[in-house]
Amino acid sequence: MAQLAVKGASGGMSLLTQHDTDPDRVSRILRLEASEDGKSVMLVDLDQRKVGIQREYRFEITTGELISLIRAHGAELPGENHVRAADAS
C-alpha cells in the first residue's frame, strides 16, 4: 500500500466580514490562514472599527492542535460519507 504524503495546511478562508453603516467600508475582517511553512494555522483579526485606528491581532495554533480541538469540541455531523462497521466488512 502506498504511503500518503502529508503536506500540511494551505490556503485561507474568511470567517467574518463586518461592514460599518456605510456598506462600502469594511470595519472588521476575521480570517483563518495557513502559515508559510504549512505547520500551523493563524486566526487573523483585522479591526478598523475606530476611524483612523487599525489593529491586527494574530493567533497561531498547529494543525494537529486544531484538529484535536475540533474533534474534542465539535459535533460530529451525520452524513452519507461515514463508513459503517457493517458496511466495511
List the one residue out of 67, 27, 59 whose CA is nearest residue 43: 59
In whole angstroms, give the CA distance from residue 14 to residue 54: 18
In whole angstroms, give the CA distance from residue 5 to residue 7: 6
| Mean confidence (pLDDT) of the chain | 83
Would you state the pLDDT for residue 89?
Answer: 47
Provide the whole-model pTM. 0.67
Average pLDDT over residues 71-75: 92
Higher pLDDT residue, 49 or 57?
A: 57
Q: What percent of the chain has pLDDT over 70?
A: 85
